[in-house]
Amino acid sequence: MSGGPLAGIRVLDATGVIVGPTATLLLAEQGAEVIKVEPPEGDLMRRLGGKARQPGMSPKFLHFNRNKRSIVLDLKSEAGRAVMRRLAARTDVFVSNMRARALAALGLDWASMAALNPKMIHCTISGFASGGPYDGAPAYDTIIQGLSGVAACFQRQTGEPRFAPFVLTDHIVGIVAAQAICAALVGRGRDGAGQAIEVPMFENAAAFVLSEHMGQRTFGPEGEFGDPRIMTPDARPLPTRDGHICVSANTDAQARGFFDAIGRPELKEDPRFRSVGARLENVAAYFRVRTEAMAARTTDEWLPLLRRHDVPAMRFHTLESLLDDPQLRGSGTLTEEPEQHTEETMLGLRHANRYSGSGAAPSRLAPRLDEDGEAILRELGYSETERTALRGRGGSGS
């Protein structure tokens, strides 16, 4: 890979499913060379991520593993571990979401890897931070959503605890891990030293929830939890005459513009709504005004009217209509492209961020299982005889 701010950085990716691949996807989209190390059966998401046109190439796998190279290594064999050690000696970043005990048993823990490559950034994404009573327990997104308070936020708003209908904490923690890796790379650029990073899912997700909703409990045990602007049942897409609309009017100027737009200018002087503080104290009443007003017109009638009064508003998308959003198409975030190894097309998701100084990283579709194994072994200096022997012993794949 070339181009992108992380061009020249090699990442050894020993992750699977969503949280780890989210982190390494971000690094790959920023220009890093990401070598995805998979077990002989491949990443579980190849099979778990929905119906596929090609075996092992599910929709979710395709979207979370762009711009990566794949090599199969059987890390239960000494031959596979030997290849891994040679890769580790030549890599900048190692990322794993294996539990600490499994890493140590495979010789992939920080102490073992640092002996091979003291400049390595070694990132472990775990369910729980080390040292606590949950240390080493298995964790999946739904477990973390329930334990961290995410599901409780739905209960506070709707009366029923629910999981977010996407792997929310996996996404959040994957992004956090990518940021931590980039920070460690900056530190290495300053002092030349590698380091170990532990990124726990539970603690990061709990901090995400509490920073938003600890509220008055920040100041003592008698305070109330929750941001009432978010917890009120009317904090949702608002029904219009023919659908829904998303409206936000937080500042005093926006609130006054909203009251003018809905034909209720007298509410600008209502003591309940005259200031940010007053609207927060009377948030349920304020949101009811918004909900009742929007039902009077269609979405297409409201949008230009609200914009004329500088009120932030956008249409509500279904999952289906989101695919036709002109901004996603116009920015190149959502593209139609040829599916790898077939004559058919697929919808692809491109990196949304832009970097003026380093150019864009090349875009490459997700790899087939072990697609790059032979090339990677050659790059590591293995001869043809050695490569044949490794594959025969299950050291590198097929």
**Per-residue pLDDT for 1 more than 50?**
no
- Mean pLDDT to the nearest integer, 174-194: 98
pLDDT (tens digit per residue) in 87-99: 999 999 999 999 9
**Domain span(s) for CATH 3.30.1540.10 in the chain:** 238-315
Residue pair 175/26 in contact by the 8 Å Cβ criterion: yes
Question: Per-residue pLDDT tens for 318-372?
Answer: 999 999 999 999 999 999 888 877 778 999 888 888 888 877 677 789 999 999 9
Q: Say which CATH class 10-208+326-392 falls into.
A: alpha beta
Q: What DSSP state is assigned to residue 216?
A: G
Q: Does domain 238-315 sit in CATH 3.30.1540.10? A: yes
Instruction: Give the global pTM.
Output: 0.92
Whether 73 shows a pLDDT value over 80: the answer reads yes
Q: What is the mean pLDDT of residues 274-295?
A: 96
Identify any residues that bridge with 315 across adjacent strands, giving them in sequence order.
245
As a whole-number percent, the residues of the chain with pLDDT over 90 amount to 85
| Contact between residue 320 and residue 327 where contact means Cβ atoms under 8 Å apart | no
Lowest mean pLDDT, pick from 1-5, 62-66, 257-261, 386-390:
1-5
Residues contacting residue 245 through CB under 8 Å, at least 6 positions apart: 237, 238, 294, 299, 302, 303, 313, 314, 315, 316
Give the pLDDT confidence score for residue 396 in this predicted structure: 59
Compute the chain's Rg from CA coordinates: 25
Could you identify the residue written with the tokens 């030549």? 90
pLDDT at 46 over 50: yes
Q: What is the pLDDT of residue 395?
A: 53
**Is the per-residue pLDDT at 57 higher than 70?**
yes
Q: What is the pLDDT of residue 280?
A: 94
Model confidence over 204-215: pLDDT tens digits? 999 999 999 999
398 falls in which pLDDT band (50, 70, 90)? very low
Q: Is the pLDDT of residue 2 over 60?
A: no
